[in-house]
């Protein structure tokens, strides 16, 4: 029996830690997923949307910390109760998503592992049963280390996780699981491959108000720099000083430079004039832009449709422009 308890403890602990870590490397992605749940057509909690990032960070911290606590044996009774409460929350959300077909991917493992709502629900059911069993046997969960080391490990998991997310938010996810990672050939990604019900990239469209669909033209260009802004109203205006500098450098190196946004073209007239931006703005869906770039704004370099580099605007000076 004791071997079964330790196996379940490790399995559940690693499940929560891995899930937390995969969200931790992309906290913005977690906030976008929460916004889907808060949408009027799902849970109708639109008033919480402005706090989605904060809520996401708290959930990631709690999920990761509880997983670590279980693994090292810190406050096992309280840890298991915390895991139970979190699993019940996840059970409700995934059941609701699956039954009403509201959110097609719960984002439990970020972009790394895609599960259907029902697959995620059944996964949570299995975890719930395991955690209930551990609750009855919590007295058999011992500390892996002495009490002093266990306390320090438990104490450090929060600040380390916070720093990790802070670093990620200031740059980009250190591991990119999206369909738009560096090295991706966008045109190839738009082709339907055998065994797939839809291509990896199915929503990449660049539309000009004057010249219409420029997607195929831009994907054939030798040098392209895209300034990706999913929502101008939510972007940091101080970013445009750096955007101005890097786009001017790109233009001097014969790059074709385009802004890409879901905001209306007239919204950019003031920004273009204020910062003297010398490039045209194209339209793409906001959700697609969020998938392409976990920054607002962000920068993406293309060479004949292949993604050569991508950066948060905070790292604009590190952008590779050959």
Residue 110 pLDDT: 57
pLDDT digits (tens, 9 = 90+) for 150-169: 889 989 999 999 999 999 99
Residue 112 pLDDT: 63
* Six token digits for residue 298: 């962000």
Kindly list the structural domains of the chain, giving each domain's residue range(s) and its CATH number in brackets, ordered by start.
Answer: 2-170 (no CATH), 186-318 (3.40.30.10)
Residue 204 pLDDT: 92
pTM value > 0.75: yes
Residue 18 has pLDDT above 60, yes or no: yes
Residue 104 pLDDT: 66
* Six token digits for residue 33: 């997923």
pLDDT digits (tens, 9 = 90+) for 50-81: 999 999 999 999 999 999 999 998 888 899 99
Q: For residue 183, how far is the Cα from the chain centroid?
A: 19
Exposed / middle / buried, residue 120 (Cβ in 10 Å: 0-12, 13-18, 19+): buried
pLDDT digits (tens, 9 = 90+) for 260-286: 998 877 778 888 888 888 898 999 998
Name the more confident of 214 and 195.
214
Mean predicted confidence (pLDDT) in 112-129 = 84
Lowest mean pLDDT across 36-45, 82-91, 173-182, 218-227:
36-45
**Distance of alpha carbon 199 from alpha carbon 216, whole angstroms:** 17
Residue 121 has pLDDT above 90, yes or no: no
Mean pLDDT, the chain, as a whole number? 88
Q: β-strands 224-229, 298-303: how paired? A: antiparallel
The greatest distance separating any two alpha carbons of the chain, rounded to the nearest whole angstrom, comes to 71
Residue 96 has pLDDT above 90, yes or no: no
């Amino acid at each position: 029996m004791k071997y079964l308890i330790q196996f379940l403890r490790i399995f559940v602990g690693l499940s929560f830690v891995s899930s937390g870590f995969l969200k931790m490397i992309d906290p913005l992605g977690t906030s976008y997923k929460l916004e889907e749940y808060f949408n009027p057509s799902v849970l109708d909690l639109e008033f919480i949307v402005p706090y989605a990032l904060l809520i996401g960070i708290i959930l990631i911290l709690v999920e990761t910390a509880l997983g670590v606590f279980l693994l090292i044996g810190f406050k096992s009774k309280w840890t298991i109760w915390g895991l139970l409460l979190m699993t019940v929350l996840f059970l409700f959300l995934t059941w609701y998503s699956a039954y009403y077909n509201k959110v097609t991917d719960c984002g439990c493992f970020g972009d790394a592992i895609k599960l259907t709502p029902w697959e995620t629900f059944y996964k949570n059911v299995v975890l719930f049963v395991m955690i209930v069993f551990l609750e009855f046997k919590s007295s058999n969960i011992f500390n892996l280390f002495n009490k002093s080391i266990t306390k320090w490990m438990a104490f450090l998991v929060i600040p380390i996780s916070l720093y990790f997310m802070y670093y990620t938010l200031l740059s980009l996810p250190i591991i990119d699981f999206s369909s738009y990672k560096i090295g991706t050939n966008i045109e190839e990604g738009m082709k339907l491959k055998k065994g797939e019900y839809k291509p990896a990239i199915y929503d990449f469209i660049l539309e000009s108000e004057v010249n219409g669909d420029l997607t195929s033209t831009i994907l054939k260009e030798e040098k392209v720099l895209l300034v990706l802004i999913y929502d101008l109203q939510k972007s940091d205006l101080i970013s445009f000083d750096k955007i101005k500098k890097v786009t001017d450098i790109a233009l001097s190196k014969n790059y074709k430079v385009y802004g890409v946004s879901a905001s209306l073209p007239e919204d950019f007239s003031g920004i273009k004039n204020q910062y003297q931006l010398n490039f045209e703005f194209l339209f793409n869906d906001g959700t697609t832009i969020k998938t392409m770039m976990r920054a607002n704004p962000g920068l993406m370099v293309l060479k004949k449709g292949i993604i050569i580099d991508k950066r948060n605007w905070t790292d604009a000076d590190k952008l590779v422009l050959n």
